Structure 1
């Protein structure tokens, strides 16, 4: 059994998958208090499907960038479970790459304060290092990659289709210390 968790960008996204079939999912928008509801919502989804947390053998997570607390919530839950049972497998992908899917995409997430997390991808290959940019810098990047589609704030992401498409592109982490958030900082 597999569980995808995304708590990074003001949504709680959970997808349960078994034998290449999605058996259930839950997407809660505008979860500014994701830390208050994540664990109980995971428990509820599992219970609804007659499962317990021990039935999950593989966890797939986005590890940021995104809201500071949101990024840490899913990672902390899974890191704790891996500490208790090192046999579970944990796979990570950054939020910008997930949003990009396999397309030619300028992936943009609101970083607040008129700043944006940005990644540019073609078939999941990053063409620039993920960064934080201003609105003016974003406009310049749009001009440079003018034949790329812009995806912003997961507005047009079909989480189920995207997870199915990208599942094999998540990176397996072997050590608990590798289950860490992706923070992109801009000191300028």
Structure 2
């Protein structure tokens, strides 16, 4: 199976072309946020360097959030457009899970973090079990204090990765020696690992219904909610 994988959840842009588990080409850029300018040229370049035509692709795997509103919207929109245009499968994967894939270690808990500002974070808790990564606590947008209440009872070491600078001191004051900070390379998502993981997952049944997983209201949603207090904001992107 020939797979295109895309992660633009935050500052890094990572795109890979895979054939089954074999990496054909990958580009990861970490120096800017101009994903709208670079994403499609990078995709076209990697497909060409892989000696493929776009019509050779059979599946698109995208990191669908949480993360930067603009970044995850870009990946989801690109993935949907490519899947619809080529008539191929689309798989969505948590952006936090993709970051957790960088730490392939059993016997520990993996805590990927994206900074949500003001001591809030996008985060989840993962672990490897017999070579398979699994969710321990689901992805969420949460305050640091509340997150520590959820994870402090676990006995295993907890490895944090991603946007750790704003949270390390507060977490260490509770977790002490159980807290391990991953090296900086673990904070960079890999589209190759995303593609490998997404290869075995079931594709979405309705490409048109796929929306980014923001995990908190955008400003537009919050404003809309104020004007429509009795209506559900679920799938707000589809409503407008």
- TM interval, shorter chain, is 0.7 to 0.9
2:75 maps to 1:109: no
Q: TM-score, normalised by structure 1?
A: 0.84
Q: Deviations over 1:81-139 (max 9, x none)?
A: 222233x0111111112222365322221223432101112333323232112232333
Instruction: Give the match for residue 154 of structure 2.
Output: 145
Matches of 1:45 and 1:165, distance apart in 2? 16
Partner Cα distance (2:122, 2:57) in 1: 31
Aligned residues between the structures: 186
Q: Is the 8 A contact 2:122 2:142 kept in 1?
A: yes
Provide the rounded CA distance (Å) in 2 between the counterparts of 1:37 and 1:59: 18
Distance 2:114 2:52 in 1: 33
CA contact (8 A) 1:92 1:171 kept: no
Q: Give the 3-state SS of the residue equivalent to 2:147 in structure 1.
A: helix
Q: Deviations along 1:153-186, whole A, 9 cap, x unmatched? A: 2841572673476244544112113432111117
5+ residue gaps in structure 1? none
Matches within 5 A, 1:43-58: 43-58=44-59
1:51 and 1:183 map into 2 onto residues whose CA distance is: 33
Determine the structure 2 residue equivalent to 1:34: 35
**SS of match in other structure, 2:113:** strand
State the alpha-carbon separation in 2 of the partners of residues 143 and 167 from structure 1: 31
Q: Kindly state the Cα deviation for residue 148 of structure 1 after the two structures are TM-superposed.
A: 4.1
**Quick check: 106-115 or 75-84, which moved more?**
106-115
CA distance in 2, matches of 1:126, 1:59: 23
Is 75-84 or 104-113 further displaced after alignment?
Answer: 104-113
Contact 2:124 2:139 in 1 (8 A): yes
CA change 1:119–1:80 in 2 (3 A) is same
Greater Rg over alpha carbons, structure: 2
State whether structure 2 residue 186 is matched by structure 1 residue 177: no
CA distance in 2, matches of 1:164, 1:79: 16
1:152 Cα offset (Å): 2.3
| Cα distance change, pair 127–169 in 1 and its aligned pair in 2 (3 A) | farther
- Misfit runs of 4+, over 4 Å: none
Moved more, 162-171 or 62-71: 162-171
RMSD: 2.6
Cα distance between partner residues in 2 of 1:143 and 1:159: 29
1:119 counterpart (99, 105, 124): 124
Q: What's the CA shift for 1:36?
A: 1.6
Gaps of 5+ in 2: 164-183, 223-240
Q: Equivalent of 1:135, from 144, 153, 163?
A: 144
